[in-house]
Amino acid sequence: MRTVFAYLRDNISSAKFVDPSNTNNIISDDLTVAEKQAIKKAATPVLAAPYWRDIVV
């Protein structure tokens, strides 16, 4: 999970997520810049949390 959160923090702004069942559907295009920034902002403190209970609410 840490790897996923680190990836989101570092790459969400430029990553391209393609629907594997329909490669014409670029899922990442459905997110606004503000939504991508919110994901990045949420992923950052998660990486510093010492326990899983501090992440999952």
The single-letter DSSP state of residue 50 is: S
pLDDT in tens, 24-56: 999 999 999 999 999 999 999 999 999 988 888
Q: For residue 25, what pLDDT is reported?
A: 95
Would you say the C-alpha torsion 24, 22, 39, 15 has a positive or negative sign?
negative
Task: Give pTM, 2 decimals.
Answer: 0.78
Of the CA atoms within 13 Å of residue 22, those in its CB half-sphere come to 4
The structural domains of the chain, with segments of one domain joined by +, span 2-54
Please name the helix (run of DSSP H) or strand (run of DSSP E) that holds residue 24, with its range, or none: none
Q: What value does the CA radius of gyration of the chain take, rounded to a whole number of Å?
A: 13
